[in-house]
Amino acid sequence: MNAEDRIARLCGAVNEDRLWKRHMDLARFGALESGGVNRQTLSRADIAARKLLIDWARQRGYAVETDAIANLYIRRRGRDNEALPVATGSHIDSQPLGGKFDGIYGVLAGCEVLESLDDAGIETDHPITVVAWTNEEGSRFAPGAMGSMVYAGLRAVDALRSVTDAEGTTLEAALDATLAAMQTDRRLATRPPFKAYIETHIEQGPVLEARGIEIGAVTGIQGTRWFEVEVNGRSAHAGTTPMSRRADAMSAAVDIIADLRRMAADPEDRLRFTIGRVNVVPNTPNTIPEQVRFTIDMRHPEQRVLEDRTRDIVARCTGTSGGCTVSVRELLTQKPCDFPESIVSRVESAAKALPVSCMRMPSGAFHDALFVASTCPTGMIFVPCRDGISHNPTEHAEPAHLAAGARVLAATLVGLAAADAK
Ligand SMILES: [Zn+2]
């Protein structure tokens, strides 16, 4: 059987109904009456979901492993078991008001590929591993993407153990409970290196649906910068202080924000600029505010643009304005990540061969792939979701789109798992 025939047979074995049913099976863990899920990391619902995945893996005879941060690794043997596995996956935790597809789709699409390989009787040279990364969402324990950051060596588990959730439970206690419940074959002391990593995910944006395209070949993940701006004036009585004698931190902040929004206007509509939190002191109706602090979340796929706009922000938010002093500090910098062209074009040609419609696009959101990308050649596959809505119980993806994404994933993984593939 030549390579094209193998891939055609494998894609024929991808089972849309099975993949859909598995999403519905897992949506029971943490199910909300609204139809969404609340399956926060290392919770009872997360543990139950992990156990079901492990049951499925055991029925197929796959190896099941974990590590100190409770990432779950499900591995199907290759012809050469010493060769580096080709990996896929995503996360199974959700936001408190999450949907049935964010994250879990990437894990279930990976499982569907493994089972389709079995059903089609195909052996790969390299093993293939499906990973469920711990705590991508960060809603219970901050920060998010802990599992993939620890994997990539960007964080140490020991430095995270004392992080607590809103109830005061430590990450350490939650990890212990999860690791004890999972009953894996092995706990890995060091990270298992991968030959490559491909993550499938719902787009969480409106572009694919609006254009009627089934697959996004993700070119990279846009960079992010967070700032906090602090405006300090003088509090005074709202009734007795003439307008001409005020140092009103809110008035100054409103002017600054208006200027920043003009600066952020992008005719190409690629820059994302959000002022999402404002704190006012003393925050009462009849006192002139003495202090306003607000955050800026700015994202763009190009580092040069982020640097230019950062200079604008610093210039506008330093010094004095409307009788108040203004300062800005950077809270977070995440550079844009470009996926290797060899991976992006593999995804594109896998889609073309099926055929399903495909376009190149950057990812607007963070994903585990952003961190794994520092360890091996990495890429992502997007499928449409209804109205671009995610992090919401109404999140929905079409069964046919989920299956199309799994087929593109299958073809991409099998290509990468060939001994001679670069
Ligand atoms: Zn996600």
Q: Give, for all 422 residues of the chain, the pLDDT tens digit.
A: 788 899 999 999 999 999 999 999 999 999 999 999 999 999 999 999 999 999 999 999 999 999 999 999 999 999 999 999 999 999 999 999 999 999 999 999 999 999 999 999 999 999 999 999 999 999 999 999 999 999 999 999 999 999 999 999 999 999 999 999 999 999 999 999 999 999 999 999 999 999 999 999 999 999 999 999 999 999 999 999 999 999 999 999 999 999 999 999 999 999 999 999 999 999 999 999 999 999 999 999 999 999 999 999 999 999 999 999 999 999 989 999 999 999 999 999 999 999 999 999 999 999 999 999 999 999 999 999 999 999 999 999 999 999 999 999 999 999 999 998 87
CA of 137 to the centre of ligand 1 (A): 7
Give the whole-angstrom CA distance, residue 1 versus residue 302. 44
Give the whole-angstrom CA distance, residue 222 versus residue 298. 10
Give the whole-angstrom CA distance, residue 145 versus residue 91. 9
CA of 3 to the centre of ligand 1 (A): 32
Asked if 73 and 129 touch (Cβ cutoff 8 Å), the reply is yes
The CA-atom distances, in angstroms, between 273 and each of 160, 218, 293, 299 are 30, 21, 17, 7
Give the whole-angstrom CA distance, residue 156 versus residue 68. 10
Tokens standing for residue 422: 């670069």
CA of 146 to the centre of ligand 1 (A): 13
Give the whole-angstrom CA distance, residue 74 versus residue 63. 6
CA of 369 to the centre of ligand 1 (A): 10
Asked if 38 and 30 touch (Cβ cutoff 8 Å), the reply is yes
- pTM check: above 0.85: yes
CA of 79 to the centre of ligand 1 (A): 32
CA of 147 to the centre of ligand 1 (A): 13
CA of 91 to the centre of ligand 1 (A): 6
CA of 379 to the centre of ligand 1 (A): 15
DSSP one-letter string for 256-318: HHHHHHHHT--TTS--EEE---EEEES--TTB--SEEEEEEEEEES-HHHHHHHHHHHHHHTS
- Please, what's the b/e burial string for 279-302 (b: 16 or more CB within 10 A of its CB; e: otherwise)? ebeeeeeebbbbbbbbebbbbbbb
CA of 2 to the centre of ligand 1 (A): 36
Which residues 6+ apart lie within 8 Å of 27 measured at CB? 37, 100, 104
HSE-up (13 A, CA, CB side) for residue 223: 18
Return the closest-CA partner of residue 157 out of 195, 189, 198, 205: 189
CA of 106 to the centre of ligand 1 (A): 8
CA of 202 to the centre of ligand 1 (A): 8
Asked if 409 and 109 touch (Cβ cutoff 8 Å), the reply is yes
CA of 180 to the centre of ligand 1 (A): 25
Is the link from the previous residue into 399 a cis peptide, with omega within 30 of 0?
no
Give the whole-angstrom CA distance, residue 115 versus residue 60. 8
Tokens standing for residue 99: 């949907």
